[in-house]
Amino acid sequence: SQQGEEDPQALSIQEGENATMNCSYKTSINNLQWYRQNSGRGLVHLILIRSNEREKHSGRLRVTLDTSKKSSSLLITASRAADTASYFCLEGAQKLVFGQGTRLTINP
Amino acid sequence: EAQVTQNPRYLITVTGKKLTVTCSQNMNHEYMSWYRQDPGLGLRQIYYSMNVEVTDKGDVPEGYKVSRKEKRNFPLILESPSPNQTSLYFCASSLQMNTEAFFGQGTRLTVV
């Protein structure tokens, strides 16, 4: 399978804490994207990082990319209950491949 | 409002009865794709289209067909559905392949 792997598969933290999830991929990429999915609904785009970028910020989100290790991480700072969702990375050049996803639960 | 519209949202059908899931986008996007999502397997790409009349197989194309006669529409066709095609299906569109994708709300298909 060309699917990347996300780590951890599930993460449960307290509201206000930071959440970090990782994505490893197998193919060469033009960019890597992160998406959020709320319980079986459509995915929502969060952030895109290009292959020549190492770090990118958007609000409470921070994404890093290490092309030598073929890995990316998504950090959500000061988590809120509304951040409870599954998070997926999407990568690929010729074909787009989703990671398996990290299920994040924020406990009040 | 920019959106991707899938229909139907829910469908229960019987084995072998042909069905079509429609997908339409209003953003003039060139790239459209179909995914299925199954527990433990994540999202897997079924078919994609780079532009009108240009379609190609994703990772799990068996049992599915698509067409792209117009830029806005990308229907998914199951000629003879089987129970292993029971899944949650998503259509997505983007300006180009590696740009921000917009997803439909999903179609939950059950084949009995």
User: pLDDT digit string (tens) for B16-61?
Assistant: 999 999 999 999 999 999 999 998 888 999 999 999 999 999 999 9
Residues in chain B with CB shorter than 8 Å from the CB of A48 are 99-100
SS3 content of chain A, % helix, strand, coil (to 5): 5, 55, 40
Query: Quick check: A4 pLDDT over 70?
Result: no
- At A94, the pLDDT band (50, 70, 90 cuts) reads low
pLDDT of residue A81: 95
As a whole number of angstroms, the distance between CA A65 and CA B52 comes to 33
pLDDT tens for B71-87 read: 999 999 999 999 999 99
User: Tokens representing A91?
Assistant: 């990568």
- pLDDT at A2 exceeding the cut of 80: no
Q: With an 8 Å Cβ cutoff, are A3 and B33 in contact?
A: no
Contact B103, B94 (CB under 8 A): no
How far is CA A16 from each of CA A83, A85, B13, rounded to the nearest angstrom?
11, 16, 45
Verify whether the Cβ–Cβ distance A93 to B33 is below 8 Å.
no
Which candidate from B35, B42, B88 shows the least CB-CB separation from A40? B88
Min Cα distance B103 → chain A (Å) is 6
Beta-bridge partners for B7: B22
